[in-house]
Amino acid sequence: MLIALEGSDGVGKTTAVKMLGNKFDIKIFSDNVRHGLLGTMYTRDMFVAGNQCNLDLTSFSYDLDFLADRWVLSSYVYDTIRGIKKDKYNQIFELCIKANSLIIVLDIDATIARDRVIKRDGSPRRKLEEMYLIRATFFQAIKLWKKLGGKIIVLNASEKLLNEKLINVTRNALLDF
């Protein structure tokens, strides 16, 4: 099973994935990837989808449990913002849903996320307006994922008990699958 943590820059995905990976001794794929369909998507061995998106819809599965820091929602979001056609996303989302996956979206106000990025990187990577657009586009992707029957949980990344909630959600997901 794949458990993917999604959300905009600065919400704490990498920190959360590392914590969950250590807690449950699960393989981690972190966000050292380019965003979007032209970038990386994850399968059992990871593959580059490429612009043609030649996916084998019959054999896509996860034989091992692992955590991912960013996944298909990020691809949808960043492709949408760049104006890249999203016509393949219904097919990609359906494929990923069938492959036994859960998405946990960490959400936080865009100004807080931007401030966290400045603290981490020393400067903002994006303007505040772009951060708000990214956050709004994540909610479009969440809506599509839910419409197609995908498992998804949205958590407020500024909650004091976030780590406990993440541990409980992850534990339950691993037990259910």
The pLDDT-based confidence of 152 (bands split at 50, 70, 90) is very high
Contact present, 92 and 150 (Cβ < 8 Å): no
CATH no., domain 2-176? 3.40.50.300
* Closest-CA residue to 144 (of 78, 97, 107): 97
| CA R_g for the chain | 15
Residue 44 vs residues 47, 55, 149: alpha-carbon distances, Å: 9, 13, 22
pTM reported for the whole predicted model: 0.81
Residue 141 clears pLDDT 90, i.e. is over it? yes
Nearest to 157 by CA among 3, 14, 2: 14
Report pLDDT digits (tens) over 16-30.
988 999 999 887 876
pLDDT tens, residue by residue, 90-134 = 877 887 787 778 899 999 998 888 888 888 888 877 788 888 999
User: Quick one: which of 10, 30, 34, 17 has its CA closest to 121?
Assistant: 10
